[in-house]
Amino acid sequence: MFSASALRLNIVDRPLAKGKSEVSLSAFAFLFSELVQYSQTRVSNIGELERRLEDVGRGVGLRLLETLCHRERGGKRDTRLLDVLKFVHTTLWKYLFGRQARDLEQSNAVDDEYMISDYDLFVTKYISVPKDLGTFTPAAFVAGVVKGVLDGAGFPARVSAHFVAVKGQAKPKTTILVKFEPSVLQRESRLPNT
Amino acid sequence: MVAYNIYFFNRQGTCLYYYEWHRPKSVRQGAGTSADDQKMMFGLFFSLKTFAAAMDPRQDNKSLGAPLRIGEACTFHSFCTNNYKLHFLESPSGLKIVLNTGPDAGDLRDHLNYIYGAIYVECVLKNPAYTPGRPFSCELFTARLHHYIRSLGL
Amino acid sequence: METINAEIFTLTYGSMVRQLIADLEDISAVNKQLDEMGYNIGIRLIDEFLAKSKTGKCGDFRETVDRVAKVGFRMFLNTTAAVTNWNAEGTECSLILEDNPLTDFVELPEGCQNLVYCNVLCGVIRGALEQVSINTECSFVRDVLRGSDVSELRLKLLSLNKEEYPFKDDD
């Protein structure tokens, strides 16, 4: 049965845009703000609120992984742990925020935890968290994006976002904490060192 | 040049934000309570606007008491007494900003516009914790506002 | 004005719609929720629009709609809408959107053919105009996701509010 849409180019045949078009940051800020407000009506505590934001971010991350690999890496996807972390720290961050992330560190205590830190992310720019929301950070959305990217690349992990106060700085930095699943580390140890 | 206090009202007359830097005469001696003080302030410029529109010598006169569309006719933007100067800004969406300063302050319209566009919009409207129509208290907004007022030399 | 990559916006919106569908399941409830969310966004967005575009009062409904279509859409979505199909009294018109960042790369699946994906835009326009005392009704009559070439929003003026003194004078 032919419909009008069959005569138009099928969605997967359309060219993938170069990714240069832009919208105002305000549009995103309002949309995000409304998303947070809506989510607050459906949860009963901060943990759930952050999880909902992470879910939204995860959907974005899964799709971004494919787009960025196709555009920036010629279709190749990293298979080693440090490479995929570098992908997040550089390529993904540059796409989202226009620059590389400030720091990428491995935790001193355990070797399956890594931290990516940065200041002044646009998702946290407009939010001044009221006291009754406690430790909530809207960067949970970014944590979700990172989780989506890692999940899509085959590196399941628990990802969370935290505000960390920095000595000597008025504003706290945002840290994305990545804790990889044991299966990832086991696989990594089986592969030869590059 | 000194800044005394600032009020933000919405169209329904709710005082969304009030801050005083310096208010030698206490509220109790004036209006009685904060709520009365705010209501009086709102009533004051509501009447002033209607009055200013009715006394306008240039346009077709709306008679005193006829309801006005927001943004219609002429609007007043400040009045000056020997002790203080009151600056007023109303947006077409009904938000009203009132700032009281010392009488020697110049025309602060551009500054009020900046407070509206760059401080109120950015810090309050985009904050998910803000419910439109209710009084707000947002740290980012307060910090930026104080910083800006201080930088004006007030 | 600060901008971000349109794709982040598109993907975030899509992710949000997916979450709504999972929460509410009923498509007409999702449409209603999108409209309400748009309304909440609109009542705040109007102040930014007024401040940044330094818009004073508009003379009449036509001018208002023109401002929304040219300046408003450009400011937030980096696209413009064409205004056509005015009715005789000048109270109803259509906004035609050829290029909509919300719908880039979106395809409605089988079970969601009734979803008005961009219903949030109707809510935004309705909310924003209400704050400047203009009551309107806004809905999609044509949608690219459902087979049309362009998206068409029908905007109807319902009434204009007058400013009233909110307190009772006998206090």
| Domains in chain A: ranges and CATH | 25-190 (3.30.1380.20)
Structural domain boundaries of chain C?
A: 6-106+113-160
Domain that holds residue B9: 3-151
A7-16, A119-128, A155-164, B76-85: the lowest-pLDDT one: A7-16
Mean pLDDT of A5-12: 56
Q: What is the pLDDT of residue A98?
A: 83
Q: What is the pLDDT of residue A5?
A: 44
Sign of CA dihedral B64, B70, B72, B78: positive
The residue with greater pLDDT, B89 or C60, is: B89
> What separation, in Å, do the N-terminal and C-terminal C-alpha atoms of chain C show?
46
Which one, of C12, B139, C97, C106, lies nearest residue A29 by Cα? C12
Tens of pLDDT, residue by residue over B86-125, are: 998 888 888 889 999 988 888 888 889 888 888 888 888 8
How close is the nearest chain B Cα to the Cα of A22, in Å?
Answer: 19
Residue B42, pLDDT > 90, answer no
Q: CB B67 to CB C162 under 8 A? A: yes
Q: What is the pLDDT of residue C169?
A: 52
- Rounded to whole angstroms, the Cα distance separating B105 from B86 reads 10
Residue B67, pLDDT > 50, answer yes
Q: Which residues of B touch C64 (CB under 8 A)?
A: none
Q: Is some CB atom of chain B closer than 8 A to the CB atom of C149?
A: no
- Rounded to whole angstroms, the Cα distance separating B91 from B89 reads 7
Q: Is some CB atom of chain C closer than 8 A to the CB atom of B68?
A: yes
Q: Which of A2-6, A118-122, A153-157 has the highest mean pLDDT?
A: A153-157
Banded pLDDT at A6 (limits 50, 70, 90)? very low
Q: Yes or no: say if C167 and B9 are a contact pair by the CB < 8 Å rule.
A: no
- Rounded to whole angstroms, the Cα distance separating B76 from B85 reads 13
Q: Which CATH architecture has domain C6-106+113-160?
A: 2-Layer Sandwich (3.30)
Banded pLDDT at C40 (limits 50, 70, 90)? very high
Q: At what angle do helices C6-24 and A46-72 cross, to 10 degrees?
A: 130
Tens of pLDDT, residue by residue over A21-77, are: 888 888 888 898 899 889 888 888 888 888 999 999 999 999 988 888 888 777 778
How close is the nearest chain B Cα to the Cα of C55, in Å?
Answer: 8
Residue C171, pLDDT > 50, answer no
Interface test with B, best of A30, A42, A126 (most B CBs within 10 A): A126
Q: Which residues of C touch A22 (CB under 8 A)?
A: 3-6, 78
How close is the nearest chain C Cα to the Cα of B146, in Å?
Answer: 20
Structural Rg of chain A based on CA atoms: 19
Q: For chain C, give percent helix, strand, coil, nearest 5.
A: 50, 20, 30
- List all residues of chain C from 81 to 140 with a beta carbon under 8 Å from chain B: 131-133
Residue B136 structure tokens: 């707000």
Q: Is some CB atom of chain C closer than 8 A to the CB atom of B117?
A: yes
Residue A18, pLDDT > 80, answer no
Of A26, A37, A128, the CB nearest to B140: A128
How close is the nearest chain B Cα to the Cα of A116, in Å?
Answer: 25
Q: B100 φ, ψ to 5°?
A: -105, 125
Q: CB C56 to CB B93 under 8 A? A: no
Q: Contact partners of C by the rule of 3+ C-beta pairs under 8 A?
A: A, B
Q: What is the pLDDT of residue A3?
A: 41
Q: Is some CB atom of chain B closer than 8 A to the CB atom of A46?
A: no
**C-alpha pair distances (Å), B10 with each of B20, B37, B87:** 19, 16, 16
Residue C110, pLDDT > 50, answer yes
CA angle (B124, A32, C72) in 5-degree steps: 75
Tens of pLDDT, residue by residue over A132-179, are: 666 777 788 999 999 999 999 889 999 988 888 888 777 788 888 999
Q: Which residues of C touch B71 (CB under 8 A)?
A: 56-57, 132
Q: CB C57 to CB B46 under 8 A? A: no
Q: What is the pLDDT of residue B65?
A: 55
Within a 10 A sphere around the Cβ of C62, how many other Cβ atoms? 15
Q: What is the pLDDT of residue C17?
A: 92
CATH number at residue B109: 3.30.450.70
Q: Which residues of C touch B126 (CB under 8 A)?
A: 44
pLDDT > 70: percent of chain B: 86
Q: CB A24 to CB C1 under 8 A? A: yes
Q: Please, how many CA atoms are within 13 Å of residue B113, restricted to the half-sphere of its CB?
A: 14
Q: Give chain B's domain count.
A: 1
Of A11, A30, A52, the CB nearest to C107: A11
Q: What is the pLDDT of residue A7?
A: 45
How close is the nearest chain A Cα to the Cα of B128, in Å?
Answer: 5
Mean pLDDT of A118-130: 74
